[in-house]
Structure 1
Amino acid sequence: MEITKHTFNEQLDSILTAIEESTFLAIDGEFTGLDAEGCSHIAPFDTPEERYLKLRHGSTDFMLIQFGLCAFKVDEEKRIYEAKPYNFYVFPRPSSRNAPDRRFMCQSSSLDFLICNGFDFNKLIKEGISYLSLEQEHKMKAELERKHAEQKNRSASSVLSPDGANSKKMPLPVPDDQKEFLTDICERISVFLEGDDEELKLQSCNAFQRKLVYQTVEEKYPLVHLQTKTGEKKERFLVVQRAKDAEDLEKKEQEKQALEKMELDLQVGFTKVIKAITKSGKLVVGHNMFLDIIHSMNQFHSVLPYNLVDFKAMVKTVFPRLLDTKLLANTPPLKDFMTYTSLNDLQETMQSKPFSPVPVKPAPGFDLYNSGSVALHEAGYDAYITGCCFATMCKFL
């Protein structure tokens, strides 16, 4: 099932349920590049620490742009697995002025490879699901709480001290070149207050001008409520609403704050899926998954540490149970039956003797990948195939 920003929220509950009810999970990722400046070439005699540092240095400027998740649930009665594969497009679209505006690298060969395998970059940018790392979420939540607390204190101060004595910050001085702008705004608001319109949309203006408008309106129009909104072309403008009394003004402010909290929740986006995987404690399976884990931690949790010990400790808090099918395939007794261990080769090996494929059927509504379909290097499909291979390996062992 393909998931974009348009379907994410309506499908979220069913995704979380699939994770919680699963027997195990399989994941995969697709990236904008693999190796910055050729600096992360892995040598045969690298220590685990050296390998981690090379991958950290050579890959974290790139971005994971497609996340594949497949939830496998065993049906004991029918002795088959039911699979729910999801293919998420993820893109760090800033939804507000305070949201992170991610810079990232691309590698031409990687983009060409993805295009050749059917990747839709227009869909990624237009419809990718937003996300925040855990660090970014905590920072933005703290900033929003601080902003709301300041507004509450300002409202309380204006009630206790209507003249504003000892209760307000020093006002911003109004530059001469902004006085005409503010005069025009005040005239428009005065006309609006005398009419019957429910709200007044002011012209687009910059951040400094918006601060001046907020300051001026608070002083001149105590029963006017202002709200900053963003248009379709990302322009920011002010909307003016009248309040009947102080209680109505407080109600409008509470509605505004509730909307800001909802916008932050939407910005968290795909990270909710990672949190659900963590909470479930389920086994997470991947194929050659070191880069998948590195990017997942870096994008959805926090900045990667500079040593392997701390990295492993951090990973364990997010993915407490991990298993790599490539490592499993290169370990006896399975190693004796493997010629090559790429995912495609592994899938072919699992369908020949001495292996016997475990029956896997897509759940209703998840028929994007069936036994006859091939969509290699689409993250959802690769996660599905990884899980199928893992189930067959377990049966053999």
Structure 2
Amino acid sequence: MPTLRPPRFLLRRFITTNTHTKPINKTTQNPKWCVKQVSKFNFSETLETIKDQILQSDFIAVSLKKTGSHSAPWHKTLSIDTPETAYLKAKYAAERFQLFQFAVCPFSVRDSKLIAYPYNFHLFPRDDFKLGMPCYSFMCQSSYLTSMANEGFDFNACINEGISYLSRAQESIARNRRGNTVVSKLVQSSSAHSVADTLFLKRIQSRVKSWITACKESNTGSEDALIRSLRKVMVGSEEFGSRPCLMIDVCSERHVQLALEMLKEFADDVVPLLIRAKGGGIQAVQVVLTSSKEDKDIFEREQQCKEEDENRRVCGFREVIDLIAASQKPVVAQNSLSDFTLIHSKFLGPLPPIMDEFRTSLRLLFPHVLDISHLMDEISPLKKLNSVSAATSYLKRRFFAPIDVEIPQQVEADESKNHGFDVLRISQLFAKICSVLKVSTETVEDASSAFKGYANVFNPYSASSDDPLEEDVRISTDHQQKLSTQNIVFVWGFTVGTSAKMLRNQLLNSHEAFSDEFDVRFVDKSCAIIAFWKPNSSAKFLEAMESGGINCDSLSNLISDGLRSADYETYKRLCNLGLWEVNLADSLDNTLATDFDVHGEDSHTESTEVYWRNTDRINIDDL
């Protein structure tokens, strides 16, 4: 008797509705790959290891996991964005979203073998020293958190075990708010002493002499214990560990300079420490008396080691960023504009107001940032590949470029979780690109020379350029055309539910500007853009809109129904002002209602051309 089977659709239904099955994780597709997970508990030991690997490797790949990238659809970098507006959008996101993971992979490529040392650092902005830094508040985008949760991300472990950090700018402030600092070198003041300075110097000099004498006499044991105690009280002596110390109160930087100048007289016996107030500044100079030159050397080394440990704890993960920057090795990333605005904001300091300043600031630390999206332009200039997996699949289908991945470091079984694999994929894709393009990776200089025009190109839609100021925007497509931003007009105020095709048909016979070729695209549900292909058509349309559609009944009806318009300069002004409303239409309305000094805008020259494709469509369901 034949075995009965349930219909196929029942099997299919069971598979898709069984909630007890563990979701398939794409990151587990290669069981040979392992990424070391780093938290605050194994961070110190990892630092020593990764430092050597960074120095020995030729390249460093980075990959970031953050709490979001945009608050509204139009906040994303769009194909119509110039480099400046793209940077302002990335700046806005970097200042509001937070890093939870930072994957780092020092690697080298030898023939067809990728030798990689991947690490995934779990981060959380924690104010360990109660300094009021970093800020506790940040934005989250639900889709990003959902994606991380699906990959098994442990948010509790992130909060409790994540590595804290301060930026360089924050650390500079923190140094003035905490701890004691050893003064290693006493310098003579160059300015002349006033009468008040002289009185202050004589008073503290007499006090220090009496204190040193009292401490030395008490050490001889010739006095009674009670007398020694009374003498210490009289001279104000205290204890710093097992060593005597004296506190000199100061009320200005000038007093600090005078106290340190006076202590040069006793430099063989004492070590001065600067005591900092909680609100910043120095509140006292603490003088520690040592018993011999050897004892003084030991004490100074102890204090310097203690200060270095405190500094390491304060800067936290930023020490890894400093190691990468100090190596001056090429850094490979997938979305360099988004990643490095975030890196600059969190680990270096506040982001500059314009792209040129950002590029200059970042180049001081990272002179060779290579974006694999731009490198793919050499292989596929007419096809925009927005993800590592898409680019890898494209190369696999068209080229024979096998790359074996070798990970020499040993990773514990419980450490190799499914996080941080993107940094390995970026490293492997870079190696494949070099193989396809026949770029030698035996030395860093060979690869740096081959990709010279692609280093530090932070425009997400830009091709390579030897000119760092070149700022054209490009969408890689089969059919692309240059389009001046002067021929782009933003329109809003149309009926909810209107499609691009419907809006185009309404505009088609409303004004003579639409008698020639034009395209309509939606930026979000509230606003669309019109691309005119004939010069001056946009100016004619904007003029008609400003006049209320006089002599154009169809356009006049659209205006009376609420249709509004603005040129591209208004959009750029919007980004400069930071009017990031949820709907682009609201942001444009607010911009038009805001007084803005045109002469106060940045005077740097920017390209006014973008690339447009006829086949490009924005899916309204994704907005």
Task: Rate the CA distance shift 1:355–1:60 in 2: closer, same or farther, 3 A.
Answer: farther
Contact 1:135 1:301 in 2 (8 A): yes
Partner SS state of residue 223, structure 1: strand
Partner SS state of residue 314, structure 1: helix
Q: Deviations over 1:347-384 (max 9, x none)?
A: 3333333242222211231598xxxx994xx3x21111
Q: Which AA in structure 2 matches 1:159?
A: V
Mapping 1:19-168, distance limit 5 Å: 19-36=54-71, 40-75=75-110, 79-98=112-131, 100-109=133-142, 110-143=144-177, 159-160=208-209
1:333 aligned to 374, 379, 393, which one? 379
Task: Indicate the residue corresponding to 1:223 in structure 2.
Answer: 238
Task: Indicate the residue corresponding to 1:210 in structure 2.
Answer: none
Structure 2 residues not aligned, in runs of 5+: 1-35, 187-200, 212-225, 227-231, 242-287, 438-623
How far apart in 2 are the matches of 1:89 and 1:383? 14
Contact 2:107 2:114 in 1 (8 A): yes
Q: Which AA in structure 1 matches 2:131?
A: N
The answer to whether the aligner puts 1:288 opposite 2:323 as a matched pair is no
Task: Rate the CA distance shift 1:157–1:40 in 2: closer, same or farther, 3 A.
Answer: farther
Give the TM-score of the pair, scaled to structure 1. Answer: 0.69
Partner SS state of residue 318, structure 1: coil
Question: What RMSD, in angstroms, separates the aligned Cα atoms of the two structures?
Answer: 3.7
Task: Rate the CA distance shift 1:47–1:24 in 2: closer, same or farther, 3 A.
Answer: same
Cα displacement (A) at 1:36: 3.6
Task: Rate the CA distance shift 1:157–1:313 in 2: closer, same or farther, 3 A.
Answer: farther
Cα displacement (A) at 1:292: 1.0
The answer to whether the aligner puts 1:309 opposite 2:309 as a matched pair is no
How far apart in 2 are the matches of 1:318 and 1:367? 33
Q: Which AA in structure 2 matches 1:385?
A: R
Q: Which AA in structure 1 matches 2:136?
A: R
Partner SS state of residue 352, structure 1: helix
Task: Rate the CA distance shift 1:326–1:374 in 2: closer, same or farther, 3 A.
Answer: farther
Contact 2:41 2:161 in 1 (8 A): yes
The answer to whether the aligner puts 1:381 opposite 2:430 as a matched pair is no
Contact 1:285 1:322 in 2 (8 A): yes
How far apart in 2 are the matches of 1:57 and 1:288? 16
Task: Indicate the residue corresponding to 2:197 in structure 1.
Answer: none
How far apart in 1 are the matches of 2:378 and 2:110? 29
Task: Rate the CA distance shift 1:44–1:246 in 2: closer, same or farther, 3 A.
Answer: closer
How far apart in 2 are the matches of 1:299 and 1:246? 41
Q: Which AA in structure 1 matches 2:62?
A: I
Partner SS state of residue 314, structure 2: helix
How far apart in 2 are the matches of 1:11 and 1:23? 19
Task: Rate the CA distance shift 1:271–1:156 in 2: closer, same or farther, 3 A.
Answer: farther
Partner SS state of residue 349, structure 2: coil
Q: Deviations over 1:282-306 (max 9, x none)?
A: 1111112321111111111111000
Contact 2:69 2:141 in 1 (8 A): no
Structure 1 residues not aligned, in runs of 5+: 163-193, 195-216, 227-244
How far apart in 2 are the matches of 1:55 and 1:132? 21
Cα displacement (A) at 1:271: 1.2
Q: Which AA in structure 1 matches 2:405?
A: V
Q: Deviations over 1:264-284 (max 9, x none)?
A: 222212111111111111111
Q: Deviations over 1:1-50 (max 9, x none)?
A: 11111111112121011111112111110111212456623332221011
Task: Rate the CA distance shift 1:367–1:384 in 2: closer, same or farther, 3 A.
Answer: farther
Q: Which AA in structure 2 matches 1:343?
A: V
Q: How many residues align?
A: 317
How far apart in 2 are the matches of 1:52 and 1:40? 11
How far apart in 2 are the matches of 1:160 and 1:135? 41
Give the TM-score of the pair, scaled to structure 2. Answer: 0.45
Task: Indicate the residue corresponding to 1:204 in structure 2.
Answer: none
More displaced stretch, 386-395 vs 134-143: 134-143
Task: Indicate the residue corresponding to 2:40 in structure 1.
Answer: 5
Cα displacement (A) at 1:161: 6.0
Percent identity, aligned pairs only? 29
Task: Rate the CA distance shift 1:287–1:159 in 2: closer, same or farther, 3 A.
Answer: same
How far apart in 1 are the matches of 2:336 and 2:423? 11
Task: Rate the CA distance shift 1:82–1:253 in 2: closer, same or farther, 3 A.
Answer: closer
How far apart in 2 are the matches of 1:53 and 1:8? 34
Q: Deviations over 1:76-118 (max 9, x none)?
A: 5xx5221111101122322323362422323241222211222
How far apart in 2 are the matches of 1:136 and 1:218? 40
Task: Indicate the residue corresponding to 2:368 in structure 1.
Answer: 321
How far apart in 2 are the matches of 1:294 and 1:139? 21
Task: Rate the CA distance shift 1:365–1:42 in 2: closer, same or farther, 3 A.
Answer: same
Mapping 1:177-256, distance limit 5 Å: 222-225=237-240, 247=290
Task: Rate the CA distance shift 1:157–1:61 in 2: closer, same or farther, 3 A.
Answer: farther
Task: Indicate the residue corresponding to 2:344 in structure 1.
Answer: 297
Cα displacement (A) at 1:148: 5.3
Q: Which AA in structure 2 matches 1:84?
A: Y
How far apart in 1 are the matches of 2:204 and 2:430? 60
How far apart in 1 are the matches of 2:303 and 2:412? 42
How far apart in 1 are the matches of 2:100 and 2:427? 21
Contact 1:28 1:289 in 2 (8 A): no
Contact 2:333 2:372 in 1 (8 A): yes
Contact 1:133 1:299 in 2 (8 A): yes
Cα displacement (A) at 1:218: 8.7
Contact 1:33 1:59 in 2 (8 A): no
How far apart in 1 are the matches of 2:68 and 2:362? 22
Q: Which AA in structure 2 matches 1:130?
A: S
Cα displacement (A) at 1:323: 1.1
Partner SS state of residue 334, structure 1: coil
How far apart in 1 are the matches of 2:348 and 2:324? 13
How far apart in 2 are the matches of 1:344 and 1:135? 37
Bigger share in helix? 1
Task: Rate the CA distance shift 1:30–1:374 in 2: closer, same or farther, 3 A.
Answer: same
Contact 2:181 2:307 in 1 (8 A): no
